[in-house]
Amino acid sequence: MTLKVGDIIKFERTFTVEDVEMFTKVSCDEGSHHITPDEQGRLIIQGLLTATLPTKVGGDHNVLARTMNFEFLRPVFTGDTIICEVTVEKFDKQDERTAIITSFLCKNQHDKEVLKGNFSGVIL
């Protein structure tokens, strides 16, 4: 897929307890809210685990990241389905590389914003 300014890349993911357990092991982010279920039996997802959603687009398009900015707006829980929309704001071919700037917005299954931000980098 060739990207261009204005393209919107959309995907979704439902986070599981296993996702949180694996990320806890890798990140060592062992806050009690990540390992102790709430009264509804849910764990709060680590913010950086939620932030893997927009970074997936970078991986899908071979982006070498230069900047990433995240604004965490509300908690994400196990069992939540998060819909992520990444918008290509700039796509500029420069010699052997292509510069890319994106913005993104992630919402939960209740259409509530949970994460927004942007990332930039180069496509190798």
For the cut 80, the answer to whether the pLDDT of residue 1 exceeds it is no
Angstrom distance (rounded) from CA 35 to CA 37? 7
Distant-in-sequence, close-in-space partners of 57: CB < 8 Å, separation ≥ 6: 9, 63, 86, 102, 104
Q: What's the confidence (pLDDT) of residue 37?
A: 85
For the cut 80, the answer to whether the pLDDT of residue 36 exceeds it is yes
pLDDT digits (tens, 9 = 90+) for 71-99: 999 999 999 999 999 999 998 887 788 89
Q: What's the confidence (pLDDT) of residue 108?
A: 98
Angstrom distance (rounded) from CA 26 to CA 118? 24
Structural domains of the chain in order of their starting residue, each with its CATH number: 8-14+47-123 (3.10.129.10)
Q: What's the confidence (pLDDT) of residue 29?
A: 77
Q: How many CB atoms lie within 10 A of CB 76?
A: 25
Average per-residue pLDDT for the chain: 92
Angstrom distance (rounded) from CA 50 to CA 48? 5
**Band (5; pLDDT cuts 50, 70, 90):** very high
**Band (34; pLDDT cuts 50, 70, 90):** confident
Length of the chain: 124
Better-scored residue on pLDDT, 33 or 79: 79
